[in-house]
């Protein structure tokens, strides 16, 4: 599981950075990736990335401001031409379906795959045997949501030496044991899962927040997160400006991460006024004064989401 940023600028693109888009790469877990927000130019950014649109499974839109969704119609239309024929589900606030349908209808775009659009007002959005996704309303000028992605715990490692002593080799019987089923070994011994399975691996938690002022929902969504992505539009000297425009400072993002007990914070959504590396470093310095495990999100870099034991 890795984070891959394709847009870290706020409002409009700049020569240095594109507008908001972030991929959660789940190649090992699902052989796919999920996209969070889709600012203008996102499909161009994907072409420069290790991602393939044919592997895109879900899109989560935080809110309906243009810098977070103007790239959506083009990306949806292009996906089929790049081998994307599997179903695609898009989640987002009320109004998202009208925006997508209107854009595709007026442009007479043909979608040759199953496209499902799920409008929501927060809560439990998705769950299967590997992941659960929850959402909550943040504090922004329009309805803006954060997303909490929870990986289910993984079965512990099998004791291959003990299993081999009973004549059990890697194969179907391994799968049954990992699913919690007892099996009969070739020597006639009944092997129970608890006898050969180590402790489960704790699932990881990733929180990706839309535009927001500091608010309780940002903290609750990020509780115990292994990776937390929080907008950091301004330096703290512009805290009043951030409040007026319903945004956050780097210091406020760090305060949220500290309050939530997050393990790693990624700062993103930088104002265009911060063009130089020195200016960006000021944002990082402010954040690290509050929360040491803060990083500036850089575009086109893979950031592994590590487990508590340090494994990816």
Annotated binding residues, as ranges? 63, 65, 67-68, 140, 211, 269
Q: How many angstroms separate the CA atoms of 145 and 267, rounded?
A: 17
Q: Write out the binding residues for Zn(2+).
A: 63, 65, 67-68, 140, 211, 269
- Within 8 A by CB and 6+ apart from 174, the residues are 158, 163, 168
On whether the CB atoms of residues 249 and 234 are closer than 8 A, the answer is: yes
Q: How many angstroms separate the CA atoms of 144 and 62, rounded?
A: 5
Q: How many angstroms separate the CA atoms of 268 and 301, rounded?
A: 13
Active site annotation includes 139 = no
Among 25, 8, 12, CA closest to 227: 25
Among candidate residues 28, 37, 67, 159, the one labeled active-site is 67
- List active site positions: 67
């Amino acid at each position: 599981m890795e984070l891959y940023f394709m847009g870290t600028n706020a409002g409009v693109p700049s020569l240095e950075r594109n507008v908001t888009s972030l991929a959660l790469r789940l190649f090992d877990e699902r052989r796919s990736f999920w996209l969070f927000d889709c600012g203008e130019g996102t499909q161009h950014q994907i072409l420069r990335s290790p991602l393939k649109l044919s592997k895109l499974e879900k899109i989560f839109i935080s809110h309906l401001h243009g810098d977070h969704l103007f790239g959506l119609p083009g990306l949806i239309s292009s996906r089929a031409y790049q081998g994307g024929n599997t179903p695609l589900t898009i989640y987002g606030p009320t109004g998202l379906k009208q925006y997508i349908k209107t854009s595709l209808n007026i442009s007479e775009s043909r979608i040759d795959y199953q496209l499902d659009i799920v409008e929501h007002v927060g809560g439990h959005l998705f769950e299967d045997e590997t992941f659960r996704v929850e959402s909550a309303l943040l504090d922004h000028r329009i309805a803006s949501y954060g997303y909490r992605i929870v990986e289910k715990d993984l079965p512990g490692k099998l004791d291959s030496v003990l299993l081999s002593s009973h004549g059990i080799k890697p194969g179907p019987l391994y799968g049954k044991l990992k699913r919690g089923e007892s099996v009969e070994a070739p020597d006639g011994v009944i092997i129970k899962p608890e006898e050969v399975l180590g402790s489960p691996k704790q699932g990881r938690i990733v929180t990706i927040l839309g535009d927001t002022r500091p608010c309780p929902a940002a903290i609750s969504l990020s509780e115990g997160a292994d990776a937390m992505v929080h907008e950091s539009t301004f330096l703290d000297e512009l805290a009043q400006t951030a409040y007026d425009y319903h945004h956050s400072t780097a210091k406020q993002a760090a305060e949220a991460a500290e309050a939530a007990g997050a393990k790693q914070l990624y700062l993103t959504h930088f104002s265009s006024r911060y063009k130089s590396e020195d200016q960006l470093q000021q944002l990082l310095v402010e954040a690290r004064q509050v929360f040491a495990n803060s990083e500036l999100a850089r575009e086109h870099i893979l950031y592994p989401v590590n487990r508590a034991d340090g494994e990816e």
